[in-house]
């Protein structure tokens, strides 16, 4: 079942798009089923849950943290996390850098941009993000790498609205690349698209889709 769902999602992804299988709230057995079908990138939104899974599951899994980040939890994932998607302040970026330095790693990070209409979704505004990048302090952080952007569209049935939001994020991404990352080939990821909107996200240039319920079924919180 999980295997079939996974293979069906994978079959729809163009070559340049990678899948983050969002396994939050699902048990190790479910993750192993996807792992055995070849999946290696998994996404989690709670540090404690992710760390427990990391400790008990195969070590070639790449763990992506996609949740809202708290400064005091970063140290627990710094030794192993492959990518952090939800950076929405300079303070968090600096803290990730500090914890990564302690374990002698460089952690790829995505800046989360608020593109949805809901107030509840986290992220920088377009202006705030540019201000942070213009200030330039981030350039002195040697143990993080800004690898791209992440965004979540409004939870709506309006395909037009979703397309508009993803498109605006892609334009902003290209804009930032030209201004701040001209000689940096590592700024290349655009993390957008979930179970209900990943088709639109791919059309608008996503390179990483974060798909959970379509693969693992509904979550029991």
Ligand X SMILES: *Cc1c(COP(=O)(O)O)cnc(C)c1O
Which uninterrupted H or E stretch holds 41?
Answer: strand 41-44
Least distance (Å) from ligand X to the CB of residue 97? 22
Out of 108, 148, 151, 212, the residue judged to bind ligand X by CB under 6 A:
212
Least distance (Å) from ligand X to the CB of residue 76? 19
Task: Specify the residue, 141 or 211, whose C-beta has the smaller distance to ligand X.
Answer: 211
The full DSSP string for 148-216 is EEEEE--S-S-HHHHHHHHHHHHHHHHHHHHHH-TT-TT--EEE---TTTHHHHHHTT-SEEEE-HHHH
Question: Does residue 210 touch ligand X according to CB under 6 A?
Answer: yes
Question: Does residue 21 touch ligand X according to CB under 6 A?
Answer: no
Question: Does residue 194 touch ligand X according to CB under 6 A?
Answer: yes
Query: How does DSSP classify residue 61?
Result: P
Stretch that binds ligand X, among 5-13, 87-95, 181-189, 211-219 (CB under 6 A): 211-219
Neighbours of 103 (CB within 10 A): 12
Name every residue whose Cβ is closer than 8 Å to that of residue 64 and which is 6 or more positions away in sequence.
Answer: 20, 41, 42, 43, 44, 81, 82, 83, 84, 85, 210
Q: Give the contact letters, 148-167, x = binds to ligand X (CB under 6 A), - = no.
A: ----x---------------
Question: Does residue 211 touch ligand X according to CB under 6 A?
Answer: yes
Least distance (Å) from ligand X to the CB of residue 59? 24
Q: Residue with CB nearest ligand X?
A: 212
Q: Contact, 107 vs 100, CB < 8 A?
A: yes
Question: Does residue 6 touch ligand X according to CB under 6 A?
Answer: no
Compute CA 135 distance to the chain's CA centroid, rounded to the nearest angstrom. 24
- Near ligand X in 50-79, by CB under 6 A: 66
Cα–Cα distances in angstroms (integers) from residue 17 to residues 148, 183, 196, 205, in the given order: 14, 23, 16, 9
Stretch that binds ligand X, among 10-18, 98-106, 174-182, 205-213 (CB under 6 A): 205-213
> Which residues bind to ligand X, rule: CB under 6 A?
22, 24, 45, 66, 152, 194-195, 210-214
């Amino acid at each position: 079942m999980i295997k079939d769902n996974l293979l069906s999602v994978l079959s729809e992804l163009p070559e340049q798009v990678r899948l983050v299988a969002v396994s939050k709230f699902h048990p190790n057995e479910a993750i192993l089923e996807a792992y055995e079908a070849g999946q290696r990138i998994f996404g989690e939104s709670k540090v404690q849950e992710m760390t427990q899974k990391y400790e008990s599951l195969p070590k070639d899994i790449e763990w992506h943290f996609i949740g809202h980040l708290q400064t005091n939890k970063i140290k627990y994932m710094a030794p192993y996390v492959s990518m952090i998607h939800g950076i929405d302040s300079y303070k968090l970026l600096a803290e990730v850098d500090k914890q990564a330095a302690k374990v002698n790693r460089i952690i790829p990070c995505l800046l989360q941009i608020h593109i949805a209409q809901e107030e509840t979704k986290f992220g920088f505004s377009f202006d705030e993000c540019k201000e942070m990048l213009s200030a330039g302090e981030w350039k002195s952080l040697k143990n993080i790498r800004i690898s791209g952007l992440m965004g979540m569209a409004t939870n709506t049935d309006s395909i037009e609205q979703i397309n508009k939001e993803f498109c605006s994020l892609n334009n902003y991404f290209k804009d930032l690349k030209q201004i701040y990352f001209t000689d940096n080939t590592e700024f290349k990821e655009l993390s957008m698209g979930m179970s209900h909107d990943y088709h639109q996200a791919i059309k608008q240039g996503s390179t990483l889709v974060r798909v959970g319920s379509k693969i693992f079924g509904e979550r029991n919180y």
